[in-house]
Structure 1
Amino acid sequence: MARVFRSSANLLCLILLQNYYGKSLQQESSNIVDFFEEESEIEIRYIFGKCEPPSSTKVVSSLQFHQFTHSDNKNPVATVLQLGKTHSMHRPALRRLTIAKILTLNVFDLTKCQATQISNSVHTLLKTSRYFHKANDHHIFILDNDQLNSLPIFDPPLIHVEKKVAIHIENDHIKFQTLCYFCNELDMRQTSSSMLTYSDKLTINKLLSRLFPVTKSTFHGRTFRVSCSTNVRVRISLRPKGDGTWILNPGVFEKLATHLIQKFNFTASLRHATGGGSTGKQLPNGTWQGSVGDVYNEDADIGLLGANSFERAQLVLSTKPFEYQSVVLVTGKHYQVLTWKLLSAPLGKNVWIALAACIVVAVLFIFLMQFFFKNFILKFFTYREKSKVRLWRNGKLVENILAAFFEQEIPDLKPKNFHELISSNYDWGLDWVGDIAYLVMKSSNQSVVQTVFRKMDIHRDSTLCLKEVIVRNYACITYTTLVDLISARNFSNVAKAILKESSFSMYTAAISLWLTKDSPLEPLFNDVIGQLVSQGFTIKFLDMFTSMMRKGRHVWEAALKKEGKKPPRILSEEQEAGIQPGAVKISWKKIQGAFLFGFVGLFVASVGFLWEFKKNVCNSVTELT
């Protein structure tokens, strides 16, 4: 009869086959059933079994028992793969509208297999078979005496399985060896073992507590290998220590990493991700670099950090997003540059033609209107032949027409999206913060995105990309929240005010940590990250880091001023004022000619006005007198 033990807290079960030992646990059967809930689906896979299946499976009504026998001691690897394909159809489905969970027990009866066969079959089963690679599976191994130390249960990938138990049978003694990923306070590869016999007076609760210790929320100082995507410098960077190791520089994700390290009490062995600190890039030969490739190739336990994508999700597991980043356009605040080029440069040839045509039409309309009024309207009224205000009135009309054209507001020519960008006179570049934006634009099927991708510059330094925005008509394709960080560290307040983010977003990326598939670290990290995000600590970390960068710059500038030095500028004063390079700036030598012509024109206009006033007004007064 199958004996099933279950912990209601962790859904942990253990199967013992009675025909391995003479004494039974009949007196405990009534207590065992109480550990099951009717909502739970229990599925048992009996693998490599030499015993007949139990004649009765009345432990619970929802219990499903399937036996798969490896006969004739042939290739265990082929049997495992075939087993996974055959058994996939037997997996029960989740009940709807319930909180039911499927508990799957993989019972490995390895008493007929040799050590090498055990190693190959178990390794293949848990690493390559997608049917058994489930987070809710629990594994039980039944061993002979000489197999107790030969089974590679301490090596990857078995070490990544959180809930597992090895059972050693010798006569009527049963040795239960519990293998937990992080529940032992000593080295990770050690286990807590106990020799149990039927004569031991153990209750069900004590038995379960000894076989399946409660999962601890601490790693007891164990070391995890962490691959850091250091090309995302505004998010995470490393600095060397004297002993050859690396530590995190202050930053947004440094706060997250420090919080996780302190929360779970583990040591992080930091290293730069392959591919120059890449987040994740697939090479032409199909291999992956970056933190994604390091975690996938089992060279690292944790990848810090990266943006999720469909290709990456097939390789590694991502935690809950710590933040969301959108790809936006950053343009400069346009200033009017006072140069001689303003007389002609702002207007194209077609604009000049249209302006001349409008003036001609307006003048003709005015004279035709006067002709119409004079011949058809004013002949019925008495009026002077020469009006003293007629010439002045016509001039004011023309002046008002020209003023209405030139004094209108300058249109906002800054591009706000990719469609406006490719049709503008702007150049543009991509701020290379990780690889995801580059890969998304490269693989896009939209013609507009492809045009932007072909003509864009690549900036490995975010500061240089934003500098181009300030000094000329340039658009920087970058991520939100980065503008404040870069400007707080490198730019003055005047230059920072020039940078403007568009509301357009080409792509929104979920930024998270990388873990191996079915890693037991996922639920623990997800709980902590979920709490941080829901309580708004993501924004707080960002604000704290931005304020720290701005304060650090002010302290540095104050220290230089005390020494009688000026802080070096990334931008010149003229560039910060919005003057584009190559423009002809107005100097006094050039502007004095304009004043001379202005005074000459004012003198000629005054003489003409006085002559017109004498001719029209004074003569009229003389006639009246």
Structure 2
Amino acid sequence: MDREIHNYNIRHQIIDHHSHTHIHIETLLILSRTISPVYLPLVAKDVDPFVYVTLNPALLEPLLLSRALPARTKYKLGLSLDKTRGELVIRSVCFFCDAGGPVVLTLPAQSPATFDYFPDYVLNLEGHLLRIACPAIKSRIEALPPYEEVNNAQRGMWKTMFEQFLMVKFNFTYNVFLSVGKSGSYIGGGGTGLELENGTWIGTVGDIVAGRADIGIITANTPKRVKVVAFTNSFFDISYLNFITTEGTRVFSPAALLWSFDILMWACIGLSTVVAFLIFKIITRTMTALGLDKGDAMSFARRGIVSHENWGIQHQIFFVATSYLDQDCVLPRFTPLRCFVALWLFFTLIITTIYRSKMVSLLAFPVLEKLPLTFEQLVASDYQVGFIKHGDSAYNTLKASTDKVYVTLVDEMEIITGNGLECLERAVAKKYACIAYAFSTIYLKARNLSDSDIRKLVFAPESTYNIFMGLALEGGSIYKEGFERWLGWTRPFHLADLWEEQDMYYNVRLPKRAWWLETNQTDKLEHSDFVESDDLTLKHISGAFYALAGCLLICAGVFVQELVSYYWEREMEKGLIWVRLKVRLRTMVKLKNRRVVRFNNYY
């Protein structure tokens, strides 16, 4: 409500109610001028002053203390007229003046112009007990059931913030308890805020709406929640979702022989080889067409020895293969062919030099497995995914997303409740990605994992669902203005980061180390060698042996082919000899028969 309109209404209400007496009108006008400041362009939410007017002075106290709107109004006055004495009655409420309880105060009707009728009565709570609902997030605050003691938080940065900061400023006590779940108790609870199908809320938001809590902590601001509870504009805690994998393993593979070039480069090399054969063919055909293939023009030389054979396709294949392998080549003698061969040798020199330099590094120093760095890469990878569900807002937001990446992620990921340690253990042991709030993983590392296991974890650089958490309160809460003002000083001075580091070290890490020593788990305290040994072993150069085995198989295949060809030709020759013998025998028989016939005829 705008202050000018509000004060204008106050002024006219006072005039209407007391127009029967000129004296009281003058008094009320003076009073209205004292409570009507000059024009202020900025109006803060939930801090507007209210004046409640009643004709019966006896109704002022129950009106100001009622659980309806007046009780939730921080700056308020009650006005009435005592007709018996003809005096104006002005009363207000000091919320905590009676040892933390409310007291109705009577203010003077006539006062100096500087008198403040709307003081801030929420500066000292006089030990008043605040009920604080928290989710089951031990990384931020931890308390033990049955949650009945005063100032009962065991540890956590929110405990430090309350006890060393806000309690010092406002002088209150607190009782923190786990938020209520569907069962109506803290058993099975611990959520931040979930609206059920019947319209009721559970979690910290539900506790505030139902009046079980004055404050809710570690609760994100969402469009649905802001309709039922209020949030401080200042925030104390920050977090976000990211995912964790383990360090990539070193890849030792015979395929490293092909990793020097990508698919496109190999395709270009293959295409260049085909083009070389085409150019050889074009040049030789041109020589034949022009009649330049006479004599030794098509011959070749090797190691200074000139051959009189033609430089045919078999010699061209041999030349290309030996040029790639940097071996002795069979070179043509014709000048155009020699020019192209020289250019081709320069091309293969560049290719083979690059290939060998990269191949040596790949075989001796293998590459690490590529890890997913974004949620899109995570969905496309073969990693299993787990989601540590702390609170409700993150999961509900991902579930409501229409982005294909998050839709696929929600369908495939495993929901992990509790503290989420098993999720990190799986990430260390196998190809498993763990999605969680950053503050959850920080706590789990400090509380459960050894330094050697922590070094194996890799945090992806991409994050999503950034949240800024202050205090959640009921609408129009009298605590909002003061807590919001002082909470705003925690971020500029990095108090949240400081208290988090102190809590993780003194309250989480050191007790873990002490327990390991008591239980003789000293192996977890040993420092592991993060850098793997780079000494050359058989697996580093296994590709060379695989290549040798492949060459032996090829040689064996060629040898078998030669044997088959040899015996085939031999059998063919045997067949020809047998045919020749049969023909000769038949010829000899015919000749003999002719001689016999001639002899018989003669005699």
- Does the alignment reach a TM-score above 0.5? yes
**TM superposition score category, shorter chain reference:** 0.5 to 0.7
Q: Describe how 1:62-211 pairs up with structure 2 within 5 A.
A: 99-101=41-43, 135-144=47-56, 147-148=59-60, 151=63, 153-168=65-80, 169-174=82-87, 176=89, 178-180=91-93, 182=95, 184-193=97-106, 202-205=110-113, 208-209=115-116, 211=117
2:251–2:367 contact (8 Å) kept in structure 1: no
Q: How does 1:106-505 map to 2 (within 5 A)?
A: 135-144=47-56, 147-148=59-60, 151=63, 153-168=65-80, 169-174=82-87, 176=89, 178-180=91-93, 182=95, 184-193=97-106, 202-205=110-113, 208-209=115-116, 211-229=117-135, 231-240=136-145, 247-258=152-163, 259-275=165-181, 276-319=189-232, 320-336=234-250, 365-367=320-322, 371=329, 373=331, 375-376=333-334, 403=360, 406=363, 410=367, 412-460=369-417, 461-505=419-463
Larger RCO: Structure 1 or Structure 2 (Cα < 8 Å, ≥ 6 residues apart)? 2
* Identity over aligned pairs, percent: 19
Q: 1:221 to 1:345 in 2, by over 3 A?
A: farther
Distance 1:21 1:420, change over 3 A: same
Relative to structure 1, the CA distance from residue 14 to residue 153 in structure 2 (aligned partners, 3 Å threshold; closer, same or farther) is: farther
Q: Distance in 1 between matches of 2:479 and 2:137?
A: 24
* CA displacement, residues 91-146 of structure 1 (integer Å, 9 cap, x when unaligned): xxxxxxxx4549xxxxxxxxxxxxxxxxxxxxxxxxxxxxxx95424132223256
CA-CA distance at 1:309 after TM superposition: 1.1
Q: Deviation per CA, 1:435-466: give whole Å up to 9, x if none.
A: 11101110001111100000001122332111
1:374 deviation in Å?
Answer: 5.0
* Deviation at residue 234 of structure 1 after TM alignment: 1.2
Distance of 1:431 and 1:378 partners within structure 2: 71
Q: What letter matches 1:155 in structure 2?
A: R
Separation in 2 of the partners of 1:213 and 1:12? 20
20-29 or 175-184: which moved more? 20-29
* CA distances 1:161-183 after superposition (whole Å, capped 9, x unpaired): 11222234233343635333635
Q: What amino acid does structure 2 have at the position aligned with 1:555?
A: A
Task: Report whether the alignment pairs 1:551 with 2:513.
Answer: no
Q: Distance in 1 between matches of 2:149 and 2:333?
A: 100
Distance 2:235 2:138 in 1: 19
* Cα distance in 2 between the residues matched to 1:377 and 1:407: 43
For 2:429 and 2:19, the matched residues in 1 are separated by: 84
Asked if the contact 1:31–1:204 (Cα under 8 Å) also holds between the matched residues in 2, the reply is: no
Distance, in Å, in 2 between the alignment partners of 1:242 and 1:510 is 26
Post-superposition Cα deviations, 1:489-538, rounded to whole Å, max 9, x if no partner, equal 21111111111212211211112211011212111111111101111111
Letter in 2 for 1:267: T
CA spacing shift, 1:358–1:164, aligned 2, 3 Å:
same
TM superposition score normalised by structure 1: 0.62
Q: Is the 8 A contact 1:225 1:301 kept in 2?
A: yes
Name stretches of at least 5 consecutive residues in structure 1 with no aligned partner.
41-98, 103-132, 381-394, 579-589, 605-625
Asked whether the equivalents of residues 328 and 502 of structure 1 are also in contact (C-alpha less than 8 Å), the reply is yes
Secondary structure of the residue aligned to 2:77 is: strand
The letter of the residue matching 2:367 is I
RMSD (Å) for aligned C-alpha atoms:
4.7
1:273–1:402 distance in 2 versus 1, CA, 3 Å = closer
Tell me how far apart the structure 1 counterparts of residues 60 and 219 of structure 2 sit (CA, whole Å): 41
What is the CA distance between 1:415 and its match in structure 2? Answer: 0.6
1:526 aligns with 484
Alpha-carbon shift at residue 221 of structure 1 (Å): 1.0
Structure 2 segments unaligned to the other structure (5+ residues): 182-188, 274-316, 339-351, 533-537, 553-603
Q: For 1:242 and 1:31, locate their aligned partners in 2 and report how far apart those are by CA, in whole Å.
A: 48
In structure 1, how many angstroms separate the alpha carbons of the residues matched to 2:147 and 2:402? 49
Whole-Å separation in 1 of the counterparts to 2:11 and 2:330:
102
Distance 2:194 2:441 in 1: 25
Contact 1:252 1:545 in 2 (8 A): yes
Structure with greater helix percent: 2
State how far apart, in whole Å, the 2-side matches of 1:242 and 1:436 are.
25
Please give the TM-score of this superposition, normalised by the length of structure 2: 0.64
Preserved contact between residue 239 and residue 246 of structure 1 (Cα < 8 Å):
no
- Aligned partners of 1:467, 1:411: CA distance in 2, in Å? 21
